[in-house]
């Protein structure tokens, strides 16, 4: 039986961390692609040299040539510029648009049956770009943001309550920007409402910190943005697809038809709860939101729409 093949475009902080995580789980063979061939080859070799110690049999190779990515099952796009202090994710729009567009053309050419997971910021606009440029069915193109934002929310709740992270299920929807929508009602600790454990005020503080969670890391690192938690979040999505987990998680996906009307976001990619399995986005789940949450959701959707309207697509 052939092994699965995963291509990671961008062998930077997120791409290389993801390659190591995927290799350790022996999920597939991995091709790291970077415009800088030495970075891709060097990081791939470094990871392989860890394999005798860590004991994994996956092969990781580095390249600058998309022909080496042919027939990938999953392609993850992390190529692009990360934020610097003082920059919003949206400041990256035009620079990263050109990169994601050219990468998407290569994916379409070499891996026409792949699932595509977009990580490059601004996330929702870049996911839309990949969808339009590849022309792939909407079930096969998605953006990783909600898993990360939800993980940050969960970690902060664990930190505040002193309860294990394993017990916390947090949920964040909306665009991957500072007006994302963390949901109180759908956030639980071992099935119990989070509001049983934290006051309104405590929760509001945590929600605010979650919204600026990416920025907090950028401020600390100064030379780049977060990569451990983003890589872990992508790992969860890749495994959900390859192992047909049918996992409910939040991801940026294309909203059209009835579900787009329901969310007031037709024709855009925005973070919503989905069921992720071997067909990709197998379902989009409707949520019952409070008036305040709908208001926040609409604001978040409008931010995404404004960016997408600027794209020369
Ligand atoms: N094709 C392939 N690789 C490219 C291209 C391209 N056209 N342009 C840039 N790259 C590579 C860079 O050479 C670099 O190695 O993408 C890599 C990006 O790595 P980092 O700068 O370390 O960025 P990272 O922290 O991994 O974030 C990547 O994800 O979260 C987002 O905002 C973040 O958009 C950024 C992306």
pLDDT tens sequence for the chain (313 residues):
678 999 999 999 999 999 999 999 998 999 999 999 999 999 999 999 999 999 999 999 999 999 999 999 999 999 998 788 888 888 889 999 999 999 999 999 999 999 999 999 999 999 999 999 999 999 999 999 999 999 999 999 999 999 999 999 999 999 998 899 999 999 999 999 999 999 999 999 999 999 999 999 999 999 999 999 999 999 999 999 999 999 999 999 999 999 999 999 999 999 999 999 999 999 999 999 999 999 999 999 999 999 999 999 8
Cβ atoms 186, 287 nearer than 8 A = yes
Dihedral of alpha carbons 215, 299, 203, 270, sign: negative
Ligand 1 contact via 250 beta carbon (within 6 Å): no
Q: Which two tokens stand for residue 205?
A: 């503080």
Question: Distance (Å, rounded) from C-alpha 55 to C-alpha 59?
Answer: 12
Domains of the chain: 5-144 (3.40.50.720), 146-310 (3.90.110.10)
What is the pLDDT, as a whole number, of residue 185? 92
Ligand 1 contact via 293 beta carbon (within 6 Å): no
Residues making up the binding site for NAD(+): 10-15, 34, 96, 119-121
What is the pLDDT, as a whole number, of residue 84? 80
The answer to ipTM > 0.95 is yes
**This prediction's pTM:** 0.97
Ligand 1 contact via 10 beta carbon (within 6 Å): yes
Which residue, among 181, 117, 193, has the nearest Cα to 157 in the 3D structure? 193
Give the pairing of strands 268-277 and 280-284: antiparallel
Atom number of ligand 1 nearest to Cα 224: 25
């Amino acid at each position: 039986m052939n092994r699965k093949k995963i291509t990671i475009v961008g062998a930077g902080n997120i791409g290389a961390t993801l390659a190591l995580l995927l290799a350790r789980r022996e999920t597939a063979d991995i091709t790291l692609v970077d415009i800088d061939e030495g970075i891709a080859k060097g990081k791939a070799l470094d990871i392989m040299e860890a394999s005798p110690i860590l004991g994994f049999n996956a092969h990781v190779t580095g390249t600058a040539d998309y022909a080496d990515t042919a027939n990938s099952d999953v392609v993850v796009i992390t190529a692009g510029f990360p934020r610097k202090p003082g920059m919003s994710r949206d400041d990256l729009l035009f620079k990263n648009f050109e990169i994601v567009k050219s990468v998407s053309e290569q994916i379409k050419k070499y891996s026409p049956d792949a699932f595509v997971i977009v990580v490059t910021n601004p996330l929702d606009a870049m996911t839309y770009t990949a969808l339009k440029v590849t022309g792939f069915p909407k079930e096969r193109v998605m953006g990783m943001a909600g898993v990360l934002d939800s993980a940050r929310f969960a970690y902060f709740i664990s930190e505040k309550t002193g309860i294990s992270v394993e017990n916390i299920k947090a949920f964040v929807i909306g665009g991957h920007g500072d007006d994302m929508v963390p949901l109180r009602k759908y956030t639980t600790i071992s099935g119990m409402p989070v509001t049983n454990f934290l006051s309104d005020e405590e929760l509001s503080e945590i929600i605010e910190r979650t919204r600026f969670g990416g920025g907090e890391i950028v401020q600390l690192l100064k030379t780049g943005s977060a990569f451990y938690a983003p890589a872990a979040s992508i790992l969860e999505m890749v495994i959900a697809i390859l192992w047909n987990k049918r996992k409910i998680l939040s991801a940026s996906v294309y909203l059209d038809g009835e579900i787009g009307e329901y969310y007031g976001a037709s024709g855009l990619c925005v973070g919503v709860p989905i069921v992720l399995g071997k067909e990709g986005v197998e379902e989009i789940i409707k949520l019952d939101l409070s008036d305040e949450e709908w208001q926040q959701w609409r604001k978040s959707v409008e931010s995404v729409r404004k960016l997408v309207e600027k794209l020369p697509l």
